[in-house]
Structure 1
Amino acid sequence: MVASSGPVVDHRRLADAFGDEVTLLVEASRGLAPETPVPTCPGWTVGDTVRHVGSIYRVAQAWLIDGERPREWQRGPAAGQSDESYVRQGYADLREILDFHDPDGPAASWWPQDRTYGFWYRRMTHDTTVHRVDVEGAGGATWSGVAADTALDGVDEALMLWFGHRLSRLGLRGTHAGEVGVCTGGHGWLVSAGPDETAVHRCPEPEARDARAVVSGEPEAVYLWLWGRNRPGGVDVAGDDDADGQLWALMRLATR
């Protein structure tokens, strides 16, 4: 369950970040062969990753146009269309819809806690960011970085949406009771899991630091740790190792 919803930064900031991330993703993919493996997405190539992002933009469009989970959409480039064009066209079409509406306006989504147009700004921004990091890593490039405010919102989304909502939809629980405080950027979250439920809520950072296990670090580092993209040593993991490990494992299941 979740105790609250909505982004922790302004929707306009997420809209700007969304456009920036599309550009970074395209630029990162240009110098790589489409068949280049992506280590952070086992079994995927750079081409697979880029096309996935373009496909997700069309899924979001269909949700907004049809008002329900789509069954059909353009899952890959049209004949003669490049992967880059597929991504850019999908982004342009989606932005046209999003920019026409107030982010707080009602819209279909797959999260009951946030059925607004803003949900899609947020979800598409973070989906693009994570896969941009994947593609940069596939080429051995230094990550372009994630702005602290965007990363902070990404931490919140990873915990509130994926851990707090997605796990229960998948019918997944922890194997033992454990609570973890997640701390970054002056914000805190308490995350608990066990055989009975998974739960998360926002809280003051000092309250989160009182948990028996604590994960902390800079917003970018914590964000990428939650998504399984951070390099070793990127975050400080302290306290109950079993609770920290369970959070990590459950996040891998929630975000796969």
Structure 2
Amino acid sequence: MDYSRYLDCLAADFARLRAVAPTDLGAPVPTCPGWSVADLTRHVGDVYLHKTLAIREGAEPEPWPPAELASEEPLALLDRAYADLRAEFAAHDPKDAAGSWYAPGRYVGFWIRRMAQETVIHRIDAELGVGAPVAPVPADLAVDGVDELLRVFVEYSVAEWAESFREILAGSPGWTFAVRADDTAWSVRTGPGVFRVTDGVADTADVTVTGPPAAMLRWLWGRELAAERSGVSVQGPSEAVAELRRCIVVATQ
């Protein structure tokens, strides 16, 4: 995907989030236990402001969020933060430097991609919270989101912060996963201290996960409800699937 496409997706998903959130700010968000839609809205605003400053100041601000943001009304914060974020993106070339926890992604374009993916996931959270229909996720954005989750979040995190995954992976017998979203596929290999992602799939795998791109994105991010038919087929040992799930949770928390 090119950066203009990410920005278009960001705009569309922000508009959807902004439209559905006010319908019931007090509703619980089933995919974010303990959060209301208001909490979710505030979180997205906090994230937008954090990334705006990461670009503007060349480093991610810490600690975050500052106490004064807590007194701002969630929708007002969201609107202000989104306007600031888009202005910051417009003021920079995607190749310009920016602060980032992800060492290969210390440039503005990384945050353009990340905020497009952040927003589509959280607008789904908002839709599920207020009971609105979940709008379609474009296939290209969903495939990109699966790739980002597996490589940028999990593979990178296991390599950089191995101790955080020790409890999950130290006793792993070593599993192979074939993940297929329509015409795009990834192979994942786990083991003690290992989470490796490659393009395509091997002839055999311990676990095979297949489904349409949007359904795959939601399944991997844990954004489907138990009562839904997600459209994702999972075949393989439950303990292997649990290992994959736990790695994702730790990498994205």
Same-fold call, TM cutoff 0.5 = yes
1:98 aligns with 2:89: yes
* RMSD between aligned residues: 2.0
Matches within 5 A, 1:214-225: 214-225=208-219
Whether 2:123 is the aligned partner of 1:123: answer no
Asked whether the 8 Å contact 1:54–1:90 carries over to 2, the reply is yes
1:167–1:198 contact (8 Å) kept in structure 2 = yes
* Partner of residue 3, structure 1: none
Gaps of 5+ in 2: none
Residue 21 (structure 1) aligned with residue 39 (structure 2):
no
Q: Does 1:228 align with 2:222?
A: yes
Tell me the amino acid that sits aligned with residue 23 of structure 2: G
1:51 corresponds to 2:16: no
Q: Is the 8 A contact 2:28 2:37 kept in 1?
A: yes
Query: 2:200 aligned with 1:212, yes or no?
Result: no
Q: List per-residue Cα deviations over 1:67-95 (Å, max 9, x = no partner).
A: 1120255566586x542221121111111
**Cα distance in structure 1, aligned partners of 2:140 and 2:47:** 24
User: Among residues 167, 176, 179, which one is paired with 1:179 in the alignment?
Assistant: 176
SS at match of 1:64: helix
- String of CA shifts for 1:107-147, please: whole Å, max 9, x gaps: 22111122221110111111111111111101122101211
Q: Could you say which structure has the higher helix fraction?
A: 2
Counterpart position of 2:146: 155
Runs of at least 4 residues off by over 4 Å: 72-79
Counterpart amino acid of residue 219 in structure 1? P
When the two structures are superposed, what TM-score results if normalisation uses the length of structure 1?
Answer: 0.87
Q: Which residue matches 2:60?
A: 69
Task: Quote the Cα distance in structure 1 between the aligned partners of 2:162 and 2:19.
Answer: 35
Please give the per-residue CA displacement for 1:156-187, whole angstroms capped at 9, x wherever unaligned.
11111111123442621423111111111311
Q: Which residue of 1 aligns with 2:98?
A: 107
Residue ranges of structure 1 left out of the alignment (5+ in a row): 1-8
**Identity fraction in percent:** 34
* Range moving further from structure 2, 221-230 or 192-201: 192-201
For residue 197 of structure 2, what is the aligned residue in structure 1?
200
Residue 31 (structure 1) aligns with = 23
> Aligned pairs, how many?
243
CA distance in 2, matches of 1:75, 1:41: 22
Secondary structure of the structure 2 residue equivalent to 1:158: helix
Asked if the contact 2:181–2:212 (Cα under 8 Å) also holds between the matched residues in 1, the reply is yes
Query: In structure 2, do the counterparts of structure 1 residues 31 and 143 end up closer, same or farther at CA, with 3 Å as the change threshold?
Result: same
Q: Deviations over 1:39-91 (max 9, x none)?
A: 11111111100000000001101111221120255566586x54222112111
SS in 2 for 1:39: coil
CA distance in 2, matches of 1:75, 1:121: 26
Q: Is the 8 A contact 1:189 1:208 kept in 2?
A: no
* 2:243 maps to amino acid: Q
